[in-house]
Amino acid sequence: MTDTTIDDGARRTVLTGTLHDGLRVVVTTLVADDRDDVADGFDALSDRTRYLRFLTAKNHLSQRSLARLVDDVDGHDHVALALWWERHSTSDVLLGDARFIRLVDDPECADVAVTVADVIQGQGAGTLLMRALVLRARDEGITRFSAVMDPSNEASHRMMLRVGPVLRDVVHDGTREVEVQVPRSGDE
């Protein structure tokens, strides 16, 4: 189920799923009220996961970085989603996020990034987040995803390759750049 109405600031469900270990999770739109959860989630990541996400050593999120990750989300050119373990008796737990940012000079293409908490890596969370991004990309007219990653990041590479046909996959200057076609509805 997709829901593109996010202008009221309320968290909207995009997709639900079950990870390989049986954990039930929900993917929602990321909203301003998630700011503290994003900061806490970043703090819980290993140094390696932080490096693979940002391609630099990053020990903390500055207020400026947090603003870019949360406050600058507009739901059209910058779409951000959150992966939650919904715990009905206590607070939900943020387990990951995913986003795309439309390229200014190529509005049908968007840079994509996915971050998954270390404790659930390898359980299908990245694939679920990417599936949710594909749904939102279709709603926003995005036909291609691009990503820049560390060449050793095989999990992200495999995740991108599963999205759709590969248009570009090159390694140069210490990074790997991958561009894939976003499948049209029914092509998955």
Q: What is the pLDDT of residue 8?
A: 54
Separation CA 174–CA 152 (nearest Å): 10
Q: How far is CA 34 from CA 13, 47, 134, 167, 174, in A?
A: 14, 22, 22, 34, 33
What mean pLDDT comes out for the span 34-57?
90
What mean pLDDT comes out for the span 138-163?
95
Both tokens assigned to 178: 């991958």
- Confidence band (pLDDT; 50, 70, 90) for 3? very low
- Confidence band (pLDDT; 50, 70, 90) for 186? low
Q: What is the pLDDT of residue 4?
A: 37
Q: What is the pLDDT of residue 5?
A: 36
What mean pLDDT comes out for the span 135-140?
96
- Confidence band (pLDDT; 50, 70, 90) for 92? confident
Q: What is the pLDDT of residue 86?
A: 82
Which CATH number characterizes residue 149's domain? 3.40.630.30
What mean pLDDT comes out for the span 181-188?
79
Query: Based on the structure, what is the number of domains in the chain?
Result: 1
Q: Is residue 8 part of a domain?
A: no
Q: Is residue 93 part of a domain?
A: yes
- Confidence band (pLDDT; 50, 70, 90) for 58? confident
Q: What is the percent of the chain where pLDDT is above 70?
A: 93
Domain coverage including residue 105 = 13-181
Q: Is residue 80 part of a domain?
A: yes
Q: Is residue 28 part of a domain?
A: yes
36 near 75, Cβ under 8 Å?
A: no
Q: With 50 as the cut, is the pLDDT of residue 153 above it?
A: yes
Q: Is residue 137 part of a domain?
A: yes
Q: With 70 as the cut, is the pLDDT of residue 1 above it?
A: no
Q: Is residue 157 part of a domain?
A: yes
